[in-house]
Structure 1
Amino acid sequence: MPHIATSDGRQPWRATVLTLFPDMFPGPLGVSLAGQALEAGIWTLSTVFLREFGLGRHRAVDDTPAGGGAGMVMRADVLAAAIDHARAAEPDAPLIYLSPRGEPFNQHIARELSSGPGVLLLAGRFEGVDERVIEGRAMREISIGDYVLSGGELPAMVLIDACVRLLPGVIGAAESLGEESFEQGLLEYPQYTKPRDWEGRPIPEVLLSGDHKKIAEWRRAAALRLTAERRPDLAAPAGRSPQARAKDKR
């Protein structure tokens, strides 16, 4: 079935989640900016209930791990049937398995995915999924951090939210996106607002000066300092370390 275009003629960005818990969606994706964009048709969200592809009277989707061990593993045949069903409707969307062993999710990947037609996301459960379906369906594995959750639904929401806010028309002041953390290989500079003095902590005077050049320089230096202190692992856009770039501003 053809997808309905947005009011400006663009096709909506489409997120499809393969999950055992479709009732978890849209969840937080249905409120705030993502929810408003969903209602406006800038993006769409659908779920595929994995249990519908399960086997036997109980619609089983898992079985004991080969070689023994604790827990259960999601079956390759069940997942492949669900994936093939989803791909028939979204043949061009990348297939992603949310996995602790995947490549670390970052702003660069969010921009890459948001510029495409959408995503097919497999939210795993139990001890994981049969390796053969990962290989057989050429899944890309992505992790949102070095920790383990009960399932892939929350990581799917994180990935979707990070992509949706980058879509045209979602954030009113689009220019602000370029100043956020990670957009230039740096953490974002500190932000302040009223009151001018709070509990003896004043807003830095330069931010009240009205001198836009000095304000830009202060913000750049602050971003470099914070990045050097907190995330020295981040790649500097100019090919130099954040520490070296911070020294230039001293």
Structure 2
Amino acid sequence: MAQYQTTGAVGGVRAAAIDEGLRAHMNKVYGTMSIGMLITAAAAWAISGLATTTDPAMAVAQMGNGKMVTSFGALIYGSPLKWLIMFAPLIMVFGLSAMINRMSAATAQLVFYAFAALMGLSLSSIFLIYTGFSIVQIFLITAIAFASLSLWGYTTKKDISAWGSFLIMGVVGIFVAMLVNIFLQSPALMFAISAIGVLIFAGLTAYDTQQIKNEYIAHAAHGDQEWLGKSAIMGALKLYLDFINMFIFLLQLFGNRE
């Protein structure tokens, strides 16, 4: 969209400068998101290693699938603390979004990385449920789908901003349905939630990519580097959440359980 929004609206030199800045901005968005993903993966793997064991002498409990957990694992997976771990990342997302304007770009970036580590703690339980091969396989599938959808959102000349309200309503609906299913424990409802969730976050990947691009173009002329730095972090957060949620829903649909 940089081409059709800047060509004719600004001179050739200025358009080239905006396009160059846009590439740098998107590189920062994807780079920050990628570091966040690495932190999440490392944290999830390390925490699951501390929480589970193959040594009966170190085990304090056994899960339904035969996995043995240490005292640390029993604390984070079997005590009421698991609910705090589950919802803490959501609370942190709302907090970062609400306070981003009061933070420096450097502080916001550190908070994002802390959030990524906390998300790793929350996601570490997938190693109790799914095989390691299945987790890697679904991650690679998600990465390919995400890259394709984000590239389309970046390059398409179609304005997809109208998708926003529909997709946000879909996210709210899925969240409510997941809360309800905590009590119902319905496999059919969980399957429907996962299938719809994949479609919604696939759409959000393309939508958010285009919105990040449009926001940069709208503000590039002001040259506010602090704002652009924060915008890149918030863009990374949006795409990170799109990736993580698409991965989780695909894992629920196609992952091989232990």
TM-score for both structures, normalised by structure 2: 0.23
- Rg (Cα) greater in structure: 1
| Higher strand residue share | 1
State TM-score, norm by structure 1: 0.23
